């Protein structure tokens, strides 16, 4: 845990508002071990929260004004009143994630009277645009902050995650699923989370002893709102309609083999990724529980190939990163792209002693198209959002 983040936010708070903050909360980013683009199909995912997070230090006000400072954006400030309609801004985007959650919380309150105004400072260390859910960690942190107020009815972690997701879907305009927010709200130290994104059941699965989680940044940035994410989602919904089911979660490989031939080839490939990925998540949770990193390696390799060939969300530099790491770790662990796609990070689950060989291979063999070297983070699975 990076306590200097909280200290920095507290210093900025004092300088901006002239008195100390009284509440401190945090919400982590996440890395997804397996189960990509399955969440909005009512499917299964296996992410874990990570030790990079968004911290908010705050002080409730007696009136209904909001003053929100972003310590990572030159202490820029966003000010508004809770009594006027909350508008979406053209920029900056960070302000919209806060506004979106506040807007959602106001909708939940009859007459919007439960919320008090707030002075707050936000600081974070989740790499941005890297597929590690910096935005979900911000929205979940804002929910956690309001939940911590003694006179506000607290939200449970799943409820907080769903409020954060709705803020992103309806206010910010990104049609993301619920994986990132649930991971941030419900993380368990040293465990991945098997999440059923339809029933919202969350089952912690221990990270095998002696295994390290490596997150490797490709330095190809991606933007969820602008990317082909929404197109993929629409293709999945079209495939579900073809099978006359609510979501692709309700289709298995046998059904796909029987009736999938009537789909156009692209939609068929999209559906095949989602359906096979759900099966891999179940197998991966079993492999993790059994401490079987080799099996995890096979499943992660199959997941990456499916994202590359069927869902078509990888890019050459990411495929190269995966190949380099796989070459260094051999069959003893796994590696795949993680997150929404088109850049961002790869994740590897490897015996601890293979971290250094993988790091050396990356230094030797990887350069992003702009010449940047990969950045390696070795992480532990972290606890979810809460008060500090
Ligand atoms: C992004 C989205 F926000 C998630 O909901 C999920 O769909 C993921 O991409 C792909 O698995 O992180």
Please write down the long-range contacts of 83-92, taking CB distance under 8 Å and 24 or more positions apart. 83/112, 88/171, 88/172, 88/173
Centroid of chain to Cα 228: 17
Could you tell me if residue 115 is left (phi over 0), alpha (psi between -120 and 50 degrees) or otherwise beta?
beta
How far, in Å, is the centroid of ligand 1 from the Cα of 98?
19
Q: For position 294, what pLDDT does the model report?
A: 98
Tens-digit pLDDT profile for residues 157-196 = 999 999 999 999 999 988 899 999 999 999 999 999 999 9
Which structure tokens are listed for 206?
């221990």
Could you tell me which residues are annotated as the binding site? 36-39, 129-135, 168, 229
Query: Quick one: which H or E segment has residue 5?
Result: helix 3-17
Domain 211-379: CATH class, spelled out: alpha beta
Q: Which residues of the chain have pLDDT under 50?
A: 224-225
Q: For position 130, what pLDDT does the model report?
A: 85
State the catalytic residue, choosing from 75, 180, 252, 319.
Answer: 180
Q: Tell me the three state secondary structure of residue 92.
A: coil
The answer to whether 180 is a known catalytic residue is yes
Residues 310 and 287 sit within 8 Å (Cβ to Cβ):
no
ipTM: 0.99
CB-ligand 1 contact for 179 (6 Å cutoff) = yes
Q: How many CB atoms are located within 10 Å of the residue 296 CB?
A: 26
Q: For position 217, what pLDDT does the model report?
A: 96
DSSP 54-100: EEEEEEE-SSSEEEEEETTTTTEEEEEETTSPPPPPSS-HHHHHHHH
Give 123's strand partners: 55
Domain boundaries, the chain: 1-207, 211-379
Residue from 168, 176, 215 whose mutation best tests the ligand 1 pocket (most atoms within 8 A of CB): 176
How far, in Å, is the centroid of ligand 1 from the Cα of 339?
6
Q: Whose CA is nearest to atom 5 of ligand 1?
A: 177
Tens-digit pLDDT profile for residues 251-292 = 999 999 999 999 999 999 999 999 999 999 999 999 999 999
Q: Which fold does the domain 1-207 belong to in CATH?
A: Ribosomal Protein S5; domain 2 (3.30.230)
Q: For position 225, what pLDDT does the model report?
A: 42
Residue from 45, 179, 344 whose mutation best tests the ligand 1 pocket (most atoms within 8 A of CB): 179
Q: Whose CA is nearest to atom 1 of ligand 1?
A: 340
pTM: 0.97
Could you tell me which residues are annotated as the binding site for substrate? 36-39, 229
CB-ligand 1 contact for 168 (6 Å cutoff) = no
Residues 239 and 267 sit within 8 Å (Cβ to Cβ):
yes
Tens-digit pLDDT profile for residues 22-41 = 999 999 999 999 999 999 99
């Amino acid at each position: 845990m990076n306590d200097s983040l909280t200290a920095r936010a507290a210093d900025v708070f004092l300088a901006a508002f002239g008195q100390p903050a009284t509440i401190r909360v945090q919400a982590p980013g996440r890395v997804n071990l397996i189960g990509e683009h399955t969440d909005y199909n009512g499917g299964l995912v296996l992410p874990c929260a990570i030790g990079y997070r968004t911290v908010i230090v705050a002080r409730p006000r007696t009136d209904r004004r909001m003053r929100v400072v972003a310590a990572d954006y030159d202490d820029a400030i966003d000010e508004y009143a809770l009594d006027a309609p909350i508008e979406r801004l053209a920029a900056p985007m960070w302000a919209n994630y806060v506004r979106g959650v506040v807007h959602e919380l106001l909708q939940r309150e009859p007459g919007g009277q439960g919320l008090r105004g707030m002075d707050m400072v936000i600081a974070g260390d989740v790499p941005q645009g890297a597929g590690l859910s910096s935005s979900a960690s911000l929205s979940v942190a804002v929910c956690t902050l309001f939940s911590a107020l003694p006179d506000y009815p607290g939200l449970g972690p799943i409820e907080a995650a769903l409020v954060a997701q709705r803020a992103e879907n309806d206010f910010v305009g990104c049609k993301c699923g619920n994986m990132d927010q649930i991971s941030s709200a419900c993380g368990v130290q040293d465990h991945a989370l098997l999440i059923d994104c339809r029933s919202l059941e969350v089952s912690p699965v221990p990270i095998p002893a002696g295994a390290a989680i490596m997150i490797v940044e490709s330095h190809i940035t991606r933007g969820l709102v602008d990317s082909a994410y929404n197109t993929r989602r629409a293709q999945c919904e079209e495939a579900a309609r073809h099978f006359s089911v609510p979501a692709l979660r309700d289709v298995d490989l046998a059904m796909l083999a029987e009736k999938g031939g009537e789909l156009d080839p692209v939609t068929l490939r999209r559906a095949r990724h989602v359906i096979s990925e759900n099966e891999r998540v179940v197998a991966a949770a079993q492999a993790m529980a059994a401490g079987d990193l080799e099996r995890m390696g096979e499943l992660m390799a199959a997941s990456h190939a499916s994202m590359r060939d069927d869902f078509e969300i990888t890019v050459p530099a990411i495929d190269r990163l995966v190949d380099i790491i796989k070459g260094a770790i051999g069959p003893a662990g796994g590696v795949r792209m993680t997150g929404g796609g088109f850049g961002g990070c790869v994740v590897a689950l490897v015996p601890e002693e293979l971290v250094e060989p993988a790091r050396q291979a990356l230094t030797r063999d990887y350069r992003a198209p702009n010449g940047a070297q990969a950045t390696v983070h070795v992480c532990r699975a972290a606890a979810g959002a809460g008060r500090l």
